[in-house]
Amino acid sequence: MGCCESIFSRRPHPEGDIYSGHNHNNQLLSHNNHHLQTDPPQPNGIDSGPSSSGGVPGFSEFLLAELRAATNNFSPDHIVSESGVKAPNVVYKGRLQSQNQNHRPWIAVKKFTKLAWPDPKPFAEEARGVGKLRHNKLANLIGYCCEGDERLLVAEYMPNDTLAKHLFHWENQTIEWAMRLRVALYIAEALDYCSTEGRPLYHDLNAYRVLFDENGDPRLSCFGLMKNSRDGKGYSTNLAYTPPEYLKNGRVTPESAIFSYGTILLDLLSGKHIPPGHALDMIRGKNILLLMDSHLEGKFSTEEATVVLDIASQCLQYEPRERPNTKDLVATLAPLQNKPDVPSYVMLGIQMQEDAPPTPQHPLSPMGDACSRMDLTAIHQILVMTHYKDDEGTNELSFQEWTQRMRDTLEARKRGDLAFRDREFRTAIDCYSQFLDVGTMVSPTVYARRSLCHLMCDQPDAALRDAMQAQCVYPDWSTAFYMQAVALAKMDMHKDAADMLSEAASLEEKKQRGGKGS
């Protein structure tokens, strides 16, 4: 078994025994009955727009097992952000499983500590309130989970990073001026919509809360609409950027979001995170060119920049009542948009992302295609036709080994083959087990066939073990990897399954180049 243990160590998997994942199947079967389908009506004049999942789903209560499966058991590899000291939380990227493999939406899962929300009831109520919102300028909240000590929020996943990444940590190109104006308007529109719908409070608005969707359009994260904890405290930014009223009384008000929005305007102007007090000194000194991002290389309108700077100055007023409201922001910024027909992804310099399952780099054989589609019937037909040709060279028997025991062993395999051909899979498992338990002959094909039998009997963990044993016998056999891919997919470990599928296709191509059959 040492060989197979080393295979496990090569791939990320949930904590504990890799086989424990098979319980997800039964739990997920109840998901459709468990979901609370509470699709909110669309407000008049609001276009929910396309989302990364091909349309914003209704708000739901998710099962913990479902979110574990989507995030590979909350693997550290799936973490996209960590923040907060007083109210620590982690956001994971995940992908919901679905019977329709072409419709498996990506999600962002925010995980709170129990200390932040010890009572599940207020957490659920707060989540449902935010979940009623639907707008194409929001990364919408699509669900939550309150199971045991877990407190989780589920939102649409935005694949093109944050404003902070594009402004402060860019690699290919900085954000052009017209795109910065679009960000300013879209976020103002998102805040105005939330305010109109009775959710004017936004917690800790900053450049990390502005996300870019699959089209490169800016969206406001719904997570900021949800308190970080029961008491609502948890500003994670430096105190130099915190609204003054929060510093005085620890309370967030609608005007606090306007102040924070002003800091985002400063970010867009300068390309840096400048403390508001320092920026206001520059504004008073009329040093607008000194404030502007040098990476723009002068490619901006001074008149437009002056308007934006004036709005930022109003937002950053010490007295909350002196700040503009969200409708004022939208009315001022809308006329500044000067490239309305240019898609956001073009201005950002990013590729359009297609929401499709990962595909191997190499063309798939009939076996690979059947496994990628998890078509067990097609796999069965291929294994029947292939028979034992792939076992050639794996057994070299001397004349003395052809004993009566060997004949009995081969007879057990023959009975297994007949049962396998006739789709009597439980009988085939028994016969193949008799053959393998004797141990006189080692056959990767028998392991592959028994693996499929286990899959047909809804035993993916046993199927994975047999597929791995086939690989132990024949390390470069693509069929062993293909069968592992199917078993892993059945266990809801879809990233590992995709990796196995790609590795199998690569082995097939390598064999073909070498002039040998796979």
What values do phi and psi take at 138, rounded to 5?
-110, 145
Residue ranges in the chain whose pLDDT is less than 70: 1-55, 83-88, 98-104, 230-240, 285-287, 353-363, 392-406, 439-440, 515-518
What residue type is 148 in one-letter code?
G
| Per-residue pLDDT, 290 | 81
CA distance 439 to 88: 54
> Which residues of the chain are in CATH 3.30.200.20 domains?
60-156
| Per-residue pLDDT, 279 | 72
pLDDT digits (tens, 9 = 90+) for 414-433: 999 999 999 999 999 999 99
**Per DSSP, which regions of 149-239 are E strands?**
151-156, 210-212, 218-221
| Per-residue pLDDT, 411 | 85
Q: Is 26 exposed, middle or buried (0-12, 13-18, 19+ CB in 10 A)?
A: exposed
| Per-residue pLDDT, 313 | 92
| Per-residue pLDDT, 447 | 94
| Per-residue pLDDT, 516 | 41
Looking at the annotation, which residues are catalytic? 204
Non-local CB neighbours of 171 within 8 Å, separated by 6+ positions: none
What values do phi and psi take at 210, rounded to 5?
-95, 120
Non-local CB neighbours of 409 within 8 Å, separated by 6+ positions: 434, 435, 438, 440, 441
Could you tell me which residues are beta bridge partners of residue 320? Answer: none
CB 449 within 8 A of CB 467: no
The architecture in CATH of the region 366-391+400-515 reads Alpha Horseshoe (1.25)
| Per-residue pLDDT, 356 | 43
| Per-residue pLDDT, 150 | 92
Taking domain 60-156, whether its CATH number is 1.10.3720.10 is answered by: no
CA distance 294 to 490: 53
> Which residues of the chain are in CATH 1.25.40.10 domains?
366-391+400-515
| Per-residue pLDDT, 386 | 84
> Which residues of the chain are in CATH 1.10.510.10 domains?
175-210+233-348
| Per-residue pLDDT, 55 | 58
Q: Is 314 exposed, middle or buried (0-12, 13-18, 19+ CB in 10 A)?
A: middle
The superfamily in CATH containing domain 175-210+233-348 is Transferase(Phosphotransferase) domain 1 (1.10.510.10)
Helix (H) or strand (E) holding 80: strand 79-83
